[in-house]
């Protein structure tokens, strides 16, 4: 497991997944924009302000005058619970002529401890919001006067409600869609950071090189147009590391690590130096190189190992790449391919191939899953392991290096694909 995360790794995750990023943001935006159509009920608020006064009886003593303020305050304060009652809401709806469900709530509050009450109505009916507010205020004032006949209260509207401008559903959709898209952006950013922090796969090739003390030969990019230079870099690094050896084994660490494409590209890069190169598909479970190179061989590696044909009879030139030839494999049944690579027949095949061609490149399937690469490694000598960025576990690469070395192979380095 890697022990640190750099900002560049997080940015690399976003660059690789930019299509998913766009899809997530669009999905959030579309779903969020459609929500107002399904659940959206725009609630409008309208407020009316009224003032309450309390008369002082003629001939009232001085104590009454002193209590006047408290009496008025208590009368006005009672408007707050009366406003939130269900009766006021019901009577207001009946008087205005709207459905009760169109009025969400009615609230009231005193303004700065003064005998001024601000009544606020929340309603889904924008056209009648002001009328509902004024009507609710009138009914509340009537109720206050009836509740407190002595001393006599008087109340009047000081500020009528203003007409509410209804908002279109289109603006609601646009606003909801934009906010949802922003949420999708934030969600994906957070997901990317968490994904990198919790990732135990190869995502920093230089870190793996330093920790395993195994040379990084090349990073093969995901884009096809950029692979040419990477394969040339692989060729230079591999030739520098292999010494006098002229046989290579390219093996996947795990399944679907792109080792078959690396083997084909590496072999083609070697042939471009004017050398004769033999590419051998040793995947006898699911051979792919023949179809990739658009070749239909009549004889295969299986028949060579059985002694049914010679090496040259199984060799098929690759028409589009001068100097490159292929020996393809075919699926076997009833026998473990790893055992076939431990026979005398394969030893002779490897020796004859090395004597007949400038370079020989063997390809083997997943080293972690199968032991084929370990059987081939002693004869190929120079082993190149392929690990896929963001897919191959770091510990699997470490284990493959140890197993290949224990089998007698020389791991000259590894390649990171899909970088």
Weakest mean pLDDT among 17-21, 36-40, 290-294, 321-325:
36-40
Report the alpha-carbon distance of residue 32 to residue 185 in Å, rounded.
Answer: 13
Nearest to 416 by CA among 216, 188, 190: 216
Opening angle at CA 167, ends 166 and 171, nearest 5: 170
Which pLDDT does position 14 carry in this prediction?
Answer: 84
Which helix (H) or strand (E) segment is 44 a member of? strand 44-54
Residues 6+ apart with CB under 8 A from 51: 115, 116, 117, 155, 156, 158
2 confidence band (pLDDT: 50, 70, 90) = very low
Nearest to 122 by CA among 97, 144, 92: 92
Q: Are 25 and 169 in contact (CB under 8 A)?
A: no
Which pLDDT does position 62 carry in this prediction?
Answer: 56
Which pLDDT does position 214 carry in this prediction?
Answer: 93
Residue 143: pLDDT over 70: yes
Could you give the dihedral angle defined by the CA atoms of residues 130, 134, 140 and 141, in that order, rounded to the nearest 10 degrees?
160
Largest alpha-carbon pair distance within the chain? 133
Nearest to 154 by CA among 46, 56, 48, 47: 56
Residue 38: pLDDT over 80: no
Weakest mean pLDDT among 61-75, 142-156, 256-270, 338-352:
61-75
**Do you find a cis peptide bond into 151, omega within 30 degrees of 0?**
yes
Which pLDDT does position 352 carry in this prediction?
Answer: 95
- Give mean pLDDT, residues 250-277: 95
Which pLDDT does position 59 carry in this prediction?
Answer: 58
Q: What is the pLDDT of residues 4-16, one digit of tens each?
A: 566 777 787 788 7
Opening angle at CA 132, ends 130 and 137, nearest 5: 95
206/106: higher pLDDT: 106
Give this prediction's pTM.
Answer: 0.60
3 confidence band (pLDDT: 50, 70, 90) = very low
Evaluate the CA torsion angle 221, 415, 325, 286 in order and state its sign.
Answer: negative
What does R_g of the chain's alpha carbons equal in angstroms? Answer: 41
190-227: b (≥16 Cβ within 10 Å) or e:
eebeeebeebebbbbbebbbeebebebbbbbbeeeeeb
216/38: higher pLDDT: 216
Q: Are 353 and 278 in contact (CB under 8 A)?
A: yes
Residue 61: pLDDT over 90: no
SS3 of residue 41 by DSSP: coil
Which pLDDT does position 6 carry in this prediction?
Answer: 65
Tokens 């995901």 -> residue = 222
Residue 187: pLDDT over 50: yes
Residue 368: pLDDT over 50: yes
Instruction: Please state, rounded to an integer, the average pLDDT across all residues of the chain.
Output: 89
Report the alpha-carbon distance of residue 307 to residue 349 in Å, rounded.
Answer: 10
Tokens read off for 375: 């059987």
Which pLDDT does position 299 carry in this prediction?
Answer: 94
Cβ-count burial of 171 within 10 angstroms (0-12 exposed, 13-18 middle, 19+ buried)? Answer: exposed
- Give mean pLDDT, residues 47-56: 86
- Give mean pLDDT, residues 276-291: 95
Q: Are 274 and 412 in contact (CB under 8 A)?
A: no
Which pLDDT does position 344 carry in this prediction?
Answer: 92
Tokens 């020996």 -> residue = 327
Percent of the chain with pLDDT over 90: 64
SS3 of residue 62 by DSSP: helix
Which pLDDT does position 226 carry in this prediction?
Answer: 73
Weakest mean pLDDT among 209-223, 245-259, 365-379:
209-223
Which pLDDT does position 201 carry in this prediction?
Answer: 82
369 confidence band (pLDDT: 50, 70, 90) = very high
- Give mean pLDDT, residues 6-33: 84
Residues 6+ apart with CB under 8 A from 222: 16, 418, 419
Which pLDDT does position 219 carry in this prediction?
Answer: 93
Report the alpha-carbon distance of residue 69 to residue 165 in Å, rounded.
Answer: 39
Count CA within 13 A, CB hemisphere, residue 48.
Answer: 24
SS3 of residue 11 by DSSP: helix
Q: What is the pLDDT of residues 317-329, one digit of tens each?
A: 998 899 999 999 9
SS3 of residue 263 by DSSP: helix
């Amino acid at each position: 497991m890697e022990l640190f995360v750099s900002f560049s790794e997080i940015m690399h995750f976003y660059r690789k997944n930019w299509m998913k990023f766009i899809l997530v943001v669009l999905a959030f935006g579309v779903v969020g924009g459609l929500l107002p159509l399904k659940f959206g009920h725009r609630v409008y608020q309208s407020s009316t302000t009224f003032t309450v006064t309390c008369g002082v009886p003629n001939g009232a003593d001085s104590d009454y005058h002193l209590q006047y303020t408290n009496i008025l305050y208590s009368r006005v304060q009672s408007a707050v619970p009366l406003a939130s009652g269900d009766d006021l809401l019901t009577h207001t709806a009946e008087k205005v002529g709207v459905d009760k469900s169109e009025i969400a709530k009615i609230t009231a509050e005193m303004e700065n401890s003064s005998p001024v009450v601000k009544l606020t109505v929340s309603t889904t009916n924008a056209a009648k919001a002001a009328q509902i507010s004024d009507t609710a205020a009138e009914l509340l004032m009537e109720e206050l006067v009836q509740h407190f006949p002595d001393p006599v209260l008087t109340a009047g509207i000081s500020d009528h409600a203003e007409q509410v401008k209804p908002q279109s559903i289109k603006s609601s959709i646009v606003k909801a869609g934009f906010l949802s898209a922003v949420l999708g952006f934030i969600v994906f950013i957070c997901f990317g950071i968490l994904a990198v922090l919790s990732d135990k796969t190869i995502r920093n090739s230089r870190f793996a090189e330093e920790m395993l003390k195994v040379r990084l030969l090349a990073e093969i990019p995901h884009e096809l147009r950029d692979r040419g230079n990477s394969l040339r870099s692989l060729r230079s690094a591999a030739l520098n590391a292999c010494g006098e050896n002229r046989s290579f084994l390219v093996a996947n660490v795990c399944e679907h690590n792109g080792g078959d494409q690396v083997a084909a590209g590496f072999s083609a890069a070697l042939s471009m130096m004017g050398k004769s190169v033999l590419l051998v598909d040793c995947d006898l479970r699911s051979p792919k190189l023949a179809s990739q190179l658009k070749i239909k061989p009549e004889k295969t590696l299986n028949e060579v190992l059985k002694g049914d044909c010679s090496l040259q009879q199984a060799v098929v030139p690759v028409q589009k790449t001068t100097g490159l030839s292929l020996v393809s494999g075919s699926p076997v049944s009833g026998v473990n391919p790893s055992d076939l690579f431990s026979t005398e027949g394969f030893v002779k095949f490897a020796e004859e191939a090395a004597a007949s061609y400038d370079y020989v490149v063997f390809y083997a399937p997943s080293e972690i899953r199968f032991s084929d690469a370990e059987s081939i490694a002693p004869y190929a000598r120079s082993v190149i392991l392929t690990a896929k960025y963001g897919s191959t576990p770091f510990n699997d690469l470490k284990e493959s290096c140890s197993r290949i070395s224990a089998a007698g192979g020389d791991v000259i380095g590894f390649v990171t694909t899909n970088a």
